[in-house]
């Protein structure tokens, strides 16, 4: 379910300024009143792949919380629980090792969806040499050239210009160098708190001006750390901002992976066809605090309960079973496999070597 707009439209959304908004908030109302678009149609194989990817993201993050509270993992750790439909829905609709992905400080699940092995991601969180960033990046700076992950970024908005450069590269190779098969699309993920920053507006303008193949994916989870989204911006419907640039903009139920996948497929096709970028606002919710150091006391229990009932994993399971694509026992088997994969990743990371202190300054400068 989503709404789409490619031209200017008056904003009739009521602005509620309460910082303690609950299940009756504009955020929830927007999902319930969206125009109905058909969700993505998937076969059994694809449905199981989506379920597996989302389950891996959820179980991986749960294990991270366990390791953090046991004193095995250090630093700032921001988990993705509740938002899995966005990562799986967008990246699952793209071509891995062909298209490009740029993340935020909440980047573990984006990396997993892009194909970075769980062992490498977990090792990075433990600061080990076997990590995807060789233990130098940690939770907020995952990177993998092999899997076309352009990095996680600790400061909000940092990754958007990087993603823009990636999209420009794709277009330049085709138009200037003559590589006609250069049709890679870049997805830039960021949160609602980023959308009042200068990089956001500057990059949207340049992307539309040059018709770059990029998806600006807003993971609007209602809260920018402790600031309620509806209190922080004059127009809380972020997708409408696309109209200012003549850009395609869509709003989608970010708790429904099939809805996200359908919207992503449309945006990806526009990008590959040379029609330019899309601003995709995914209405979602994080089930945990901003980080594992956040006691999560600002959000009301009613609000958290409302969104817990929209768990994207449960929604997908119901869709797959109700459409007679899978049986419940098949999904339980996948969950067992994922549990083993995550446990293996932890054991691997614990046994992995620390970075060599003699290489302290390596990777600071480019190597020939």
Can you tell me the mean pLDDT for 71-77? 91
Q: What is the pLDDT of residue 344?
A: 98
pLDDT per residue over 309-320, tens digit each?
Answer: 999 999 999 999
SS3 (DSSP) at 227:
strand
Measured in degrees and rounded to the nearest 5, phi and psi for residue 98 equal -130, -55
Percent of the chain with pLDDT over 70: 91
Domain formed by 40-351, architecture? 3-Layer(aba) Sandwich (3.40)
What is the reported pLDDT for 18? 36
CA dihedral 167, 171, 172, 176 (to 10 degrees): 180
Cβ partners under 8 Å of residue 254, min gap 6: 83, 85, 86, 89, 219, 220, 260, 282, 283, 284
pLDDT, tens only, 172-221: 999 999 999 999 999 999 999 999 999 999 999 999 999 999 999 999 99
Arithmetic mean of pLDDT, 260-266: 97
CA distances, 295 to each of 55, 65, 287, 289, 292 (Å): 25, 13, 12, 6, 8
- Which tens digits make up the pLDDT trace of 50-72? 999 999 999 999 999 999 999 98
CA separation, residue 62 to residues 162, 188, 240, 326 (Å): 30, 25, 34, 25
Tally the residues of the chain.
368
Whether residue 65 contacts residue 52, with contact meaning beta carbons closer than 8 Å, is answered with no
The whole-number average pLDDT for the span 298-326 is 96
Over residues 115-138, mean pLDDT: 97
Supply the pTM of this predicted model: 0.91
* Mean per-residue pLDDT over the chain, rounded: 91
Task: Give the separation between CA 52 and CA 124, rounded to whole angstroms.
Answer: 22
Beta strand 248-253 pairing with 278-283:
parallel
pLDDT of residue 20: 43
pLDDT band at 32 (very low <50, low <70, confident <90, very high): low
Angle between helices 84-91 and 312-322 (to 10 degrees): 60
pLDDT tens sequence across 82-98: 999 999 999 999 999 99
Instruction: Give the DSSP letter of residue 50.
Output: H
pLDDT at 118 over 80: yes
Task: Indicate whether 21 pLDDT > 60.
Answer: no
What pLDDT band is residue 160 in, cutting at 50, 70 and 90? Answer: very high
Q: What's the pLDDT tens digit per position in 219-235?
A: 999 999 999 999 999 99
pLDDT at 5 over 60: no
Inter-residue contact 264 to 90 (CB < 8 Å): yes
Task: Compute CA distances 265 → 93, 138, 217, 221, whole Å.
Answer: 6, 32, 13, 22
Confidence of residue 16 (pLDDT cuts 50, 70, 90): very low
Determine if residue 217 is left, alpha or beta; phi over 0 gives left, psi from -120 to 50 gives alpha, anything else beta: beta
pLDDT of residue 364: 84
Cβ contacts of residue 61 below 8 Å, gap of 6+? Answer: 79, 80, 81, 108, 109
- The pLDDT assigned to 11 comes to 34
Task: Please spell the DSSP secondary structure of 170-199, one letter per residue.
Answer: HHHHHHTS--TT----EEEEEEGGGGGSHH
């Amino acid at each position: 379910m989503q709404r789409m707009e490619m031209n200017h439209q008056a904003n009739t959304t009521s602005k509620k300024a309460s910082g303690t908004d609950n299940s009756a908030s504009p955020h929830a109302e927007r999902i319930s009143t969206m125009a109905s678009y058909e969700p993505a149609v998937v076969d059994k194989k694809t449905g199981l792949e989506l379920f597996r990817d989302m389950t891996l993201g959820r179980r991986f993050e749960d294990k991270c919380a366990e390791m953090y509270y046991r004193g095995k993992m250090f630093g700032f750790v921001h988990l993705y629980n509740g938002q899995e439909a966005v990562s799986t829905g967008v990246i699952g609709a793209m071509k891995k090792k062909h298209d490009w992905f740029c993340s935020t400080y909440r980047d573990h699940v984006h990396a997993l969806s892009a194909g970075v092995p769980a062992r490498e991601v977990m090792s990075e969180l433990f600061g080990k040499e076997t990590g995807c960033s060789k233990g130098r990046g940690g939770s907020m700076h995952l990177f993998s050239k092999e899997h076309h992950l352009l990095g996680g970024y600790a400061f909000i908005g940092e990754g958007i210009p990087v993603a823009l450069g990636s999209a420009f590269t794709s277009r330049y190779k085709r138009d200037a160098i003559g590589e006609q098969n250069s049709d890679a699309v870049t997805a830039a993920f960021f949160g609602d708190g980023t959308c009042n920053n200068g990089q956001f507006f500057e990059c949207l303008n340049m992307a539309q001006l040059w018709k770059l193949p990029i998806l600006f994916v807003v993971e609007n989870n209602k809260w920018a750390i402790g600031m309620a989204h509806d209190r922080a911006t004059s127009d809380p419907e972020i997708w409408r901002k696309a109209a200012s640039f003549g850009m395609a903009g869509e709003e989608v139920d970010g708790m429904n992976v099939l809805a996200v996948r359908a919207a992503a497929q449309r945006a990806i096709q526009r990008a590959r066809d040379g029609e330019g970028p899309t601003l995709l606002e995914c209405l979602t919710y994080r089930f945990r605090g901003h980080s594992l150091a956040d006691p999560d006391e600002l959000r009301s229990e009613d609000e958290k309960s409302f969104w817990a009932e929209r768990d994207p994993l449960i929604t997908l399971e119901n869709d797959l079973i109700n459409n007679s694509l899978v049986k419940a026992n098949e999904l339980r088997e996948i969950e067992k496999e994922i549990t083993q994969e995550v446990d293996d990743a932890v054991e691997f990371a614990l046994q992995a070597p620390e970075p060599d202190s003699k290489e302290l300054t390596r990777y600071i400068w480019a190597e020939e």
